[in-house]
Amino acid sequence: MGLSRPQWWSIPSCLLGMLAVLVVRKAYIAEDVMYQVRAYRDQVSQETIVASAAFKQLVVELRKRNKPPALFFLNQHALNMTYNFLCNTAEYENVHDRFIFITLDSTARDSLRKAWPNIAQFYWPTPCLTKPFNFADALYQTIYILRANLAVLLAERGFSFWMMQQDTFWHNDLFAHNLEQLDDSSDMLFDQLGDENQNNLRTGWINGANFFVKASQRTVDFINATANLLQSQYVPDVGVMTMLCHTWGGERINCSYIPHRIANCWEWMFTDQSWPPTIMQMDAETDAGGKLNELAKIGFYFLNDDRKTCNSSAVSLARHRMSTGQVKVNSKTCRSLER
């Protein structure tokens, strides 16, 4: 005689009570986050951005460029992570010429300008985003609304571009792959979750740290839909974009994906390390200081004692360890990067 699935009324009342408490708590958190997001909305709205002199200057700067830029967001709490990333990528010819940092407070603006004077900036002072933020809180959601709104405005004006994050190790020059040369059937190019097995269940699930937008009305509509959902629903932007890629279909958007062998996340370190990806993103940890400490333990810290200038030998050593499959990690590292 087979086992039947338990009915809800057979679940002990104490467990039902706990479940109800969890559901109510989740709903309360979601409502509280969205209340704060609505309070911050004007600081990151498309209307506010497009009316600013800073945005007009950004457009002028982009008109001068002959290659799509790579855009990064930066507040004062991510400066050390940013310096680490810039040291990692400094040796690649002309790569820094592609970067534009959207600096969100004057400390980030002035510090980056002093340490890396040749890196381009778009200064967008945003009071609500000068604080540290954590995964799934209101500030986390707000910065991705800003990212989506800025992306819409740039795509509307005919600019194709990369959106990137500086918690990424470049084993080689990503731009050398010429990934932005998309064919006519592709509108956007996304990194994916997953490991070396490109047939795993998460193939086609967007990681969202490093992706390319080809300017067109289709991508404007796609990103606008993402921005609108982020402003009304308690959802991560990668979840929205994954959903739209899989439900809109080819008539409205065509999403392409960077192969795992080119762009992967920290999970690669827990494979046999037989092939190093071009870039590896250390995703999920939102405390930049805490993550940088963890990266230092496994050999991905590239700053001298002044925490600003580059230790080029450390970069070379990290690259060698990836090439030879000698990155030393353990389960504690996994938990630290994942949380």
pLDDT tens string, the chain, 339 residues long: the values are 455 545 544 556 565 455 554 544 455 456 677 778 888 888 999 999 999 999 999 999 999 999 999 999 999 999 999 999 999 999 999 999 999 999 999 999 999 999 999 999 999 999 999 988 777 678 888 999 999 999 999 999 999 999 999 999 999 999 999 999 888 889 999 998 866 555 666 677 899 999 999 999 999 999 999 999 999 888 888 999 999 999 998 889 999 999 989 999 888 898 889 889 999 998 644 444 578 888 898 999 999 999 989 999 999 999 999 999 999 887 555 544 544
pTM over 0.75: yes
User: What residue spans in the chain does CATH classification 3.90.550 cover?
Assistant: 41-257
For position 4, what pLDDT does the model report? 52
Q: Which residue has the tokens 């809800």?
A: 8
Task: Give the length of the chain.
Answer: 339
Distance CA 254, CA 245 (A): 7
Contact 208, 238 (CB under 8 A): yes
Thinking of the domain 41-257, which architecture would CATH place it in? Alpha-Beta Complex (3.90)
Q: How many CA atoms lie within 13 A of 48 on its CB side?
A: 12
Contact 111, 79 (CB under 8 A): yes
For position 282, what pLDDT does the model report? 84
Distance CA 333, CA 269 (A): 10
Q: What is the number of helices (H) and of strands (E) in the chain?
A: 11, 10
For position 195, what pLDDT does the model report? 61
For position 284, what pLDDT does the model report? 45
For position 334, what pLDDT does the model report? 52
In Å, how far from its chain's centre is CA 34? Answer: 21
